[in-house]
């Protein structure tokens, strides 16, 4: 069993944060990156917490999966599940670099 992949014991928060980041990537045209983030979260952070935010996250992720296509989404999720922490951080860095600039 995994420990949540974090050192602070906040795996549910990490899971929600990763899924929110995946949504942001998907909404900026990076749906395959979003799916890889979800795959990593599923295999490292997913603790099945039953919080209201999870329904919102799942709804938005389902829309991204549908837009990308089920087969491609699943391939990317499987690829994300294989990432180690360093590879996940690299994915996040590349995704951030490729996101369009938005006014703050």
Q: Per the domain annotation, does 1 fall within a domain? A: no
Q: Is residue 85 part of a domain?
A: yes
Q: Is the pLDDT of residue 104 over 60?
A: no
Q: What is the pLDDT of residue 3?
A: 46
pTM for this prediction: 0.83
Nearby residues of 103 by Cβ (< 8 Å), 6 or more positions away: none
Q: In sequence order, which residues have a C-beta less than 8 Å from that of residue 80 and are 6 or more positions away?
A: 35, 36, 37, 38, 39, 40, 41, 42, 43, 88, 91
pLDDT in the model for residue 14: 87
Domain count, the chain: 1
pLDDT at site 102: 59
**pLDDT single digits (tens) 43-80:** 988 666 677 888 899 999 999 999 999 999 999 999 99
3 assigned to some structural domain? no
């Amino acid at each position: 069993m995994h420990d949540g992949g974090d050192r602070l014991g906040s795996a549910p928060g990490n899971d929600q944060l990763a899924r929110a980041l995946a949504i942001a990537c998907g909404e900026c045209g990076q749906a395959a990156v979003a799916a890889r983030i979800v795959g990593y979260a599923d295999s490292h952070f997913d603790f099945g917490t039953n919080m209201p935010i999870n329904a919102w996250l799942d709804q938005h992720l389902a829309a991204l999966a549908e837009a990308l296509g089920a087969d491609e989404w699943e391939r990317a999720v499987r690829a994300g599940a294989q990432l180690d922490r360093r590879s996940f951080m690299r994915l996040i860095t590349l995704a951030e670099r490729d996101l369009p600039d938005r006014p703050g």
